[in-house]
């Protein structure tokens, strides 16, 4: 039958910061006999149980669904947002991806627009502000035509779905040398631009969302492609190209 669970010993160097205005520092926590079946979030749970019993304050971190879809969790692990595994959120990263004796560095997502709340928790409300600037189709409840009244080519629906898979975790921002939210903005602009329902507001949306992004203190795209490389949902930078087209088109045509 199954072999006994493998365990490893690791050392965590974790960022501690009491509040947005406090100075942060790294704290070293050695962990012994860690089951390789644990997720990275469960490692943080384990550390917190240990700290609590020692009478110290646990590490603050965000998480919720623990199955890679809510977008709440996230930290920079060994220099990469969500850690070393491709297309994986922090909660789905398992300890078998690490080796016995590893020292692992854990820091919050860093960006001008994401201020640190405490330890690994950051304020990502700027992403909500960008959506408020047009990341929707303005239909009121009631009065919609029959769902099948408007056929949409399967290919378009699929592309829209690829873009719509964004979980709003902010890893793209943390990975970007300019701390840009272009991948996030482009995912929503693309989803809605690809669908006929989204066309009437396409120009307004592209201009509004980019303006909101700039206003929140995010940088601009510098074509490093780090965002795409880091995105746990593998959102393609083809969406950024589409956003640029939508934006230019809108800038020429719009009266705003």
Partner 1 sequence: MQLDAKIPGGPLEEKWDRHRFDLKLVNPANKRKFEIIVIGTGLAGGSASASLAELGYHVKTFCIQDSPRRAHSIAAQGGINAAKNYQNDGDSIWRLFYDTIKGGDFRSREANVYRLAQLSNNVIDHCVAQGIPFARDYGGLLDNRSFGGAQVSRTFYARGQTGQQLLLGAYGALMRQVAAGSVEMFPRREMLDLVIVNGQARGVVVRNLITGEMESYAADAVILTSGGYGNIYYLSTNAESSNVGACFRAYKRGAVLANPCFTQIHPTCIPHTGDHQSKLTLMSESLRNDGRVWVPRNSGDIRDPQDIPESDRFYFLEEKYPSFGNLVPRDVASRNAKDQCDAGRGVGLTRCAVYLDFSDAIQRDGKDVIAKKYGNLFEMYERITDETPYKMPMMIFPASHYTMGGLWVDYNLMSNIPGLFVLGEANFSDHGANRLGASALMQGLADGYFIIPYTIGGYFAGTILEPVTTGHAAFNQAVQEGQAKLHRLMSIQGKRTVDNIFRELGKIMWEFCGMSRNAKGLEQALQLIQSLRAEFWENVLIPGTEKDFNKSLEKAGRLADSLEFAETMVVDALARDESCGSHFRTEFQTEDGEARRDDENFCHVSIWEYQGEEERPAFHKEPLVFENVELSQRSYK
Per-position x/- string for 202-241, each x denoting binding to partner 1 as judged by CB under 8 A, each - no binding = ----------------------------------------
- Told to check if 31 binds partner 1 by CB under 8 A, we report no
CB of 45 to partner 1, least distance (A): 6
- Residue of 25, 140, 252, 255 interacting with partner 1 (CB under 8 A): 140
- Told to check if 186 binds partner 1 by CB under 8 A, we report no
Instruction: Name the residue nearer to partner 1 (CB basis): 77 or 195.
Output: 195
Q: How many CB atoms lie within 10 A of CB 63?
A: 20
What φ, ψ does residue 39 adopt, rounded to 5°? -85, 165
Sign of CA dihedral 98, 103, 108, 112: negative
Q: What angle do CA 181, 61, 44 make, to 5 degrees?
A: 125
CB of 229 to partner 1, least distance (A): 18
- Told to check if 137 binds partner 1 by CB under 8 A, we report yes
Residue from 162, 222, 211 nearest 188 by CA: 162
Q: What angle do CA 149, 151, 152 make, to 5 degrees?
A: 140
- Told to check if 145 binds partner 1 by CB under 8 A, we report yes
- Told to check if 53 binds partner 1 by CB under 8 A, we report yes
């Amino acid at each position: 039958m199954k072999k006994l669970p493998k365990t490893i010993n690791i050392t965590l160097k974790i960022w501690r910061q009491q509040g947005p205005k406090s100075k942060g520092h790294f704290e070293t926590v050695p962990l012994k006999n860690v089951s390789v079946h644990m997720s990275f979030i469960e490692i943080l749970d384990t550390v917190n149980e240990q700290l609590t019993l020692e009478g110290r304050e646990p590490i603050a971190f965000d998480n919720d669904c623990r199955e890679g879809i809510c977008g709440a969790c996230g930290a920079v692990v060994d220099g990469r947002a969500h850690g070393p595994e491709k297309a994986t959120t922090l909660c789905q990263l398992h300890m078998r991806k690490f080796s016995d004796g590893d020292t692992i560095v854990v820091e919050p997502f860093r960006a001008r627009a994401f201020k640190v709340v405490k330890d690994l928790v950051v304020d990502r409300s700027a992403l909500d502000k960008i959506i408020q600037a047009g990341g929707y189709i303005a239909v009121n409840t009631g009065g919609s035509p029959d769902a099948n009244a408007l056929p949409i080519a399967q290919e378009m629906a699929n592309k829209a779905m690829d873009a719509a898979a964004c979980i709003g975790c902010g890893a793209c921002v943390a990975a970007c040398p300019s701390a840009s939210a272009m991948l996030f903005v482009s995912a929503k602009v693309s989803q809605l631009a690809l669908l006929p329902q989204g066309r009437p507001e396409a120009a307004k949306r592209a201009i509004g969302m980019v303006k909101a992004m700039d206003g929140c203190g995010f940088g601009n795209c510098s074509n490093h492609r780090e965002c795409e490389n880091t995105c746990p949902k593998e959102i393609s930078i083809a969406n950024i190209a589409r956003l640029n087209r939508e934006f230019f088109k809108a800038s020429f045509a719009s009266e705003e």
